[in-house]
Amino acid sequence: MKKLSLTALAVSVALLAGCTSNPYTGEQQAGKAGVYGGIGAATGAVIGAATSSKKDRAKGALIGAAVAGAAAGGYGYYVDTQEAKLRQTLQGTGVQVQRNGDNLTLIMPGNITFASNSADISSSFYPTLNSLVLVFKEFDKNGVDIVGHTDSTGSAQLNQDLSTRRAQSVASYLSANGVAASRISSYGASSSQPIASNASVEGRAQNRRVEINLRPL
């Protein structure tokens, strides 16, 4: 009977977690985030109960559900909203938006971001970066990791230097325009992380890119 009561409690809290106020935005959770929150709450309830003494199991279930539900549903909903805003903002710019769990990655092809063998941002790309600045200011609960990438042509040192300077150029532009420097990191990956074959012109063009990875702070 006690196990049944505890299970019922966990399910009830899980359902409530799916429709509570979002701790990141203050809005009511819905859609995928409600599912994330419900699953997280149910899992947290079971863990909280299992790790508590017999007399404190109900209390442990409630605490576990509340913490896990807020974490799973809250940031999940935050990323849902941010992803939608980025896709809308970047439509037609050539910048790709990819999502993996609660991490978002923006892929900026080198041919629209920089001139050949240069770390100076192309003037035509400023409007896109300005749009990103506005989104990053609105959604300020995640870190902004900027990574420069090159193809495999040229020396290892040249590629390392170029990829580093390109990442730093984007980082400097964002911070100079109001994105908190404490949120930003940058580094060059040279040609170590290709996303296409370097054996073809098309593949090398895809590998020359800057990525912005958005992750929970």
60-70 pLDDT, tens digit per residue, is: 555 555 555 54
Contacts of 40 (CB under 8 A, 6+ apart): 17, 68, 69, 70, 71, 72, 73
Same domain membership, residue 69 and residue 105: no
Q: What pLDDT digit, counting tens, does each position of 115-144 carry?
A: 989 999 999 999 999 999 999 999 999 999
The total number of structural domains that make up the chain: 2
Q: Which domain holds residue 201?
A: 92-216
Same domain membership, residue 170 and residue 121: yes
What is the DSSP-derived secondary structure letter of residue 55?
Answer: G
* Residue at 87 is within a domain: no
pLDDT of 79 > 80? The answer is yes
**Domain-ending residue, one of 60, 82, 104:** 82
Q: How confident is the model at residue 25 (pLDDT cuts 50, 70, 90)?
A: very low
pLDDT score of 173: 98
pLDDT of 7 > 70? The answer is no
Q: What pLDDT digit, counting tens, does each position of 154-205 carry?
A: 999 999 999 999 999 999 999 999 999 999 999 999 999 999 999 999 999 9
Closest CA to 166 of 106, 133, 122, 213: 122
**Domain-ending residue, one of 59, 82, 105:** 82
Helix and strand numbers (H, E) in the chain are 7, 5
**How much of the chain, in percent, has pLDDT values that exceed 70?**
66
Contacts of 88 (CB under 8 A, 6+ apart): none
